[in-house]
Amino acid sequence: MKKLPKGLRITIECVLIVIIGGIATNLVDRIPTEPKVKNIIYLIGDGMGLSHITSAQIMQDYEPLNMERAEYVGLCKTYSSNSLVTDSAAAGTALSTGYKTKNGMIGMTPDSVAHPSIREKAELAGLATGIIATYPVTNATPAAFVGHVPHRNMEDEIATYYISNEVDVVIGGGSRRFDQRADSVNLFNTLRDKGYTIAFNMDDIKDVTSGKVMTLLNDDSMPTIEHGRDVNFLADATTKALEILTNNSRKNKKEGFFLMVEGSQIDGWAHKHNLSGMIEEIKDLDAAAKVAFDYADKHPGTLVVITADHETGGLTIVNSNRKFDITDHKVDFQWSTGGHTGGMVPIFAYGTGAEHFTGVFENTDLPRIMCRLLGLNED
């Protein structure tokens, strides 16, 4: 090819640089600046493995669950620092602090060093925070988002972390750890002094739209749905918590919130091999997922992550011609253990930043990614 005179070459190069530069600028302009994650809704199904979710799908003839709206899915390894089969304390600690620990320990590594949970870091940064569970709010999973104790059975002590922390919204069971304590202290009085609204049924907080609220609906665990809990309890509690957190966060020094919602009793029924009871609990969590996803649709900057702490029961779905008491779907639901198993669990992510949750993860990765997205220190 004939060589172009030097002057013309330079001119063409300049024109090209201007054109390419212009296109690049244009493209950059057209990429919407990704809204930063401001709000995180973290739903944890205790014991909710893939077969548990599949069972719920089968029971509604494969009508999609709300969780299936998730834009990104991943898998999560659940083992703890001393066992390939975790308990909820070690798993809760991993999912809240980003550190593996020994089974039974809450919010600390095996060397007894406490590590802050993502909720505590969010609170410290000025975000509004909330905890919802149907077990006592001092039980392992919620405990890992508020306290630091060497053993999960230290529930009186875990309750005192609701005094030293300031969780904006707490809804769940377990009032006896606050007013029937070994030390005879009534923690509800202390919380009232701190400005909390204390309530013992959802009706009493119907008109509460902001401020600090603790609603404990049972002495101990709330009843399961099979034993009379409202079928929409978690969805209603999530709706109420989101209302309060949204309002509180607007008044805070940093706008945004972190909410953990636990489907606590999926695990309990799986331990007992009660399939229908377990599915009702999954559907309650799934209804809360719809509330969370809908909120994320209306509030850009909201990330929803759903996962489990471990699988419970070793549930498998096998072929069968038998007709079963609860279904004629020609499958048999078999359980291989009364305990937990070491299988991976699913992650469903939706909303701003959801794309970061596709792949295979350690359970400790989840709070670390969430912290990064919220602009918090991940350690």
Residues that bind Zn ion (CB under 5 A): 267
Q: Is the dihedral of CA 199, 205, 67, 100 positive or negative?
A: negative
Q: Among candidates 288, 272, 305, which has minimal Cα distance to 371?
A: 305
- Tell me the closest approach of the beta carbon of residue 346 to Zn ion, in angstroms: 17
Complex with Zn ion: residue 267 or 286, whichever CB lies closer: 267
Q: Which does 157 bind (CB under 5 to 8 A by kind): Zn ion, Mg ion, none?
A: none
Query: What single letter denotes the amino acid at residue 276?
Result: S
Tell me 253's DSSP state.
S
Complex with Zn ion: residue 267 or 284, whichever CB lies closer: 267
Centre a 10 Å sphere on the Cβ of residue 355 and count the other Cβ atoms it contains.
10
- Tell me the closest approach of the beta carbon of residue 153 to Mg ion, in angstroms: 14
Complex with Mg ion: residue 46 or 157, whichever CB lies closer: 46
- Tell me the closest approach of the beta carbon of residue 313 to Zn ion, in angstroms: 9
- Tell me the closest approach of the beta carbon of residue 297 to Mg ion, in angstroms: 28
- Tell me the closest approach of the beta carbon of residue 271 to Mg ion, in angstroms: 12
Residues in contact with Mg ion by CB under 5 A are 46, 88, 141, 264
Point out the residue whose Cβ comes nearest to Mg ion. Answer: 141
Q: Among candidates 333, 329, 328, which has minimal Cα distance to 315?
A: 333
- Report how far residue 212's alpha carbon sits from residue 172's, in angstroms, rounded to the nearest whole number: 15
Q: Which does 117 bind (CB under 5 to 8 A by kind): Mg ion, Zn ion, none?
A: none
- Report how far residue 266's alpha carbon sits from residue 186's, in angstroms, rounded to the nearest whole number: 31
Complex with Zn ion: residue 135 or 161, whichever CB lies closer: 135
- Tell me the closest approach of the beta carbon of residue 134 to Zn ion, in angstroms: 14
Complex with Mg ion: residue 141 or 364, whichever CB lies closer: 141
- Report how far residue 303's alpha carbon sits from residue 17's, in angstroms, rounded to the nearest whole number: 39
Q: Which does 129 bind (CB under 5 to 8 A by kind): Zn ion, Mg ion, none?
A: none
Q: Which residues pair with 261 in a beta bridge?
A: 43, 132
Task: Judge contact between 54 and 346, C-beta under 8 A.
Answer: no
Complex with Zn ion: residue 267 or 281, whichever CB lies closer: 267
Point out the residue whose Cβ comes nearest to Zn ion. Answer: 267
10 Å CB burial of residue 335 (0-12, 13-18, 19+) is middle
Q: Which does 141 bind (CB under 5 to 8 A by kind): Zn ion, Mg ion, none?
A: Mg ion
